[in-house]
Structure 1
Amino acid sequence: MTKPVVVGLDGSPSSLDAVTAAAHEAAWRGAQLRLVHAFGSPHLHGLPAGPPWNPATAGVRELLDGTLAEAERRVRAVAADLDVDRDIAVGEPLMVLEIASRTASLLVVGSRGLGAFGSLLLGSTSAHLAAHGRCPVLVVRGRTGPGGPVLLAVDDAPANEAAVRFAFAEASLRGADLVAVHVCRPGSPEAYAGPADPPFVTFDEIHLLEHAGHVLEKALAGGRERYPDVRLRQRPAVGQVRRTLIDASANAQVLVVGARGRGGFTGLLLGSVSQAVLHHAHCPVIVVRPGQA
């Protein structure tokens, strides 16, 4: 049985866009869609001089009814007969969604919620879940139209294998081309922008492109055999990894990246390339951690 697609819902425009994206993903998979709405207040009690916080008297029912009605409308516009489950929980959204991701095939969230820092490029909930979710995480941002290929960031690390498998499956589900990009860094100091872009590589551009082509061939061989229906295009490139991927995302319908970072901190778990595209990509981003596909 296919695991459900889970979407985090808080009533923000970004989360409602995530509902639409999640409905498509569930329909493509023939899976149930779970709408998860988690809410709470600091420490779940009221101000020092006030009564205990009570969802029934805090306008929560009105908020939920309006939010769920709009979410339902968006789901039915995508697939009228989609199996939908509604999960309303009192608790910290990060914790509720992280737990929900343990039994999901995909977790979908908006890039920004209703928090106090709505102007941030990437909300704290989205950033945390992209790093700590127990299944692949789709962060809905940028242009969300169906046109364009699935874009895959390929590197030569074993951790990237899960992202490659997921990208092939996603392209097959969407009936889209798969464009796989591997970027080699040139030796110019101007190309150095951080740990993902080592500054001193001695090969010339022709050799770098040849190397990138070899990396792509090796990484994609298994997926090509398993998904012969997917039209694959390989794009070896030389330049800054992040800038190349961000530029390429302008013509993609979704970008799939691995999470190459290490350690217990959100940023380290994601790695600098994953963080950059989550903040700046022109299309939705799916982060796939090792062992998730």
Structure 2
Amino acid sequence: MSGLVVVGVDGSASSFAAVEAAAREARWRGAGLRLVHAFIWPAMHVSLGPSPLGPPEGGLRNMAERLLAEAEERARTVAPEVDVSRALLTGEPLTVLEAQSRAAELVVVGSHGMGGFVGLMVGSTAVHLAAHGRCPVLVVREQGESTGPIVVGVDGSSAAAGAVDFAFAEAALRGADIVALHAWTTWNTPMPPPPQDEAMPYANEPGALAAGEERLLSEALASHQETHPGVNVRREVVKGGTREALIEASRTAQLLVVGARGRGGFAGLLLGSVSQAMLHHAHCPVAVVRGTAGSP
């Protein structure tokens, strides 16, 4: 066994869906699975044990242990061969899971947990962990796995290259196809060089921008297709908004992979607007990758 998949457990339906997804990921990777519950109550200086007037199995600590036990039962049902461990750690969820991500190759969380507000499409822990986690973060909703392709957003930036790495590795593990999607408009395409011939009315011939974007996608995928020759890849270059194109593609996908930031991001911004939009509006689980997949 090598590697570790970490999953956050809080007792919500979303977190139990994340446990099942994490168990599958650990099985595919031949990795261990760590079930983590962030136990904030000790910091609140409240009683953790059972009440003298209540049953001996009562109390906050026993409740947390039961949550982890139920999560372990679900994980073993999905992947009985996986080595499962439990961790009941003092602290609030983001801090605990960010620390766990330092030793993990993947952290999995539900899209919203017990602390979520009704109607909120994705919880704050999922968004913040996607921005601050030290490894790829997989955000899972309650609906089951699809049999569709893995969709990866490609924009040619170094920040998004890790997403392509992750998508190809994940496709190889799952035996899935990849849809590599690149969306562009004249607003997000790099400015072409000035015309060399003053008599020429355009900086580039008509259609040159589209051809350049096709070339960008091909170059971004070339080395990955060499290292993963068994992965079937379909390329899609779309003239239009990136958010809209990825959300539409996610309708038939089993997983959507995006970089934390793309070529349109502001320096210092940990999570870009496209990746945030995917966490809120994608129709399938979303993996957010910072830098090279699996690296800090």
Shorter-chain TM range is 0.7 to 0.9
Q: Rg: which structure is higher?
A: 2
CA deviation vs aligned residue, 1:33-71 (integer Å, no higher than 9, x gap):
0000112138422xxxxxxx1222372244224322331
In structure 2, C-alpha distance between the alignment counterparts of 1:226 and 1:10, rounded to whole Å: 38
Give the drift of 1:209: 3.6
In structure 2, C-alpha distance between the alignment counterparts of 1:68 and 1:105, rounded to whole Å: 21
Give the drift of 1:105: 0.5
**Cα pair 1:134 1:292 within 8 Å, conserved:** no
Q: Which amino acid letter does the alignment assign opposite residue 173 of structure 2?
A: L
In structure 2, C-alpha distance between the alignment counterparts of 1:205 and 1:133, rounded to whole Å: 43
Q: Which runs of 5+ in 2 are unaligned?
A: 51-57, 193-201
Residues 205 and 139 of structure 1, relative CA distance in 2, 3 Å threshold:
farther
Aligned ranges 1:196-215 → 2 under 5 Å: 206-215=207-216
**Cα pair 1:154 1:164 within 8 Å, conserved:** yes
**Cα pair 1:7 1:18 within 8 Å, conserved:** yes
Q: Which amino acid letter does the alignment assign opposite residue 258 of structure 2?
A: V
**Cα pair 1:7 1:19 within 8 Å, conserved:** yes
Percent pairwise identity: 53
In structure 2, C-alpha distance between the alignment counterparts of 1:12 and 1:204, rounded to whole Å: 56
Could you tell me which residue of structure 2 aligns to residue 173 of structure 1?
173
Aligned ranges 1:265-276 → 2 under 5 Å: 268-276=269-277
CA deviation vs aligned residue, 1:92-134 (integer Å, no higher than 9, x gap):
1111110000000100000101115243111111111000000
In structure 2, C-alpha distance between the alignment counterparts of 1:168 and 1:104, rounded to whole Å: 19
2:280 aligned with 1:256? no
Aligned ranges 1:68-217 → 2 under 5 Å: 68-141=68-141, 143-186=143-186, 206-217=207-218
In structure 1, C-alpha distance between the alignment counterparts of 2:165 and 2:206, rounded to whole Å: 29
Query: Which has more helix, going by share of residues?
Result: 1
TM-score (norm 1): 0.86
Aligned length in residues: 273
Could you tell me which residue of structure 2 aligns to residue 67 of structure 1?
67
Q: Which runs of 5+ in 1 are unaligned?
A: 46-52, 188-196
**Cα pair 2:9 2:37 within 8 Å, conserved:** yes
Residues 204 and 106 of structure 1, relative CA distance in 2, 3 Å threshold:
farther
Alignment RMSD, CA only? Answer: 2.3
The 10-residue stretch of structure 1 (84-93 or 28-37) with the greater mean CA deviation from structure 2: 84-93
Residues 60 and 253 of structure 1, relative CA distance in 2, 3 Å threshold:
same
**Cα pair 1:144 1:284 within 8 Å, conserved:** no
In structure 2, C-alpha distance between the alignment counterparts of 1:68 and 1:114, rounded to whole Å: 15
Q: Which amino acid letter does the alignment assign opposite residue 16 of structure 1?
A: F
In structure 1, C-alpha distance between the alignment counterparts of 2:247 and 2:214, rounded to whole Å: 20
TM-score (norm 2): 0.85
Residues 101 and 152 of structure 1, relative CA distance in 2, 3 Å threshold:
same
Aligned ranges 1:4-19 → 2 under 5 Å: 4-19=4-19
Give the drift of 1:207: 4.3
In structure 2, C-alpha distance between the alignment counterparts of 1:210 and 1:30, rounded to whole Å: 41
Q: Which amino acid letter does the alignment assign opposite residue 228 of structure 2?
A: Y
In structure 1, C-alpha distance between the alignment counterparts of 2:184 and 2:27, rounded to whole Å: 37
**Cα pair 2:111 2:141 within 8 Å, conserved:** yes
Q: Which amino acid letter does the alignment assign opposite residue 257 of structure 1?
A: V
Counterpart secondary structure, 1:112? coil
In structure 2, C-alpha distance between the alignment counterparts of 1:34 and 1:231, rounded to whole Å: 32
Residues 248 and 32 of structure 1, relative CA distance in 2, 3 Å threshold:
same
Counterpart secondary structure, 2:6? strand
In structure 2, C-alpha distance between the alignment counterparts of 1:168 and 1:204, rounded to whole Å: 34
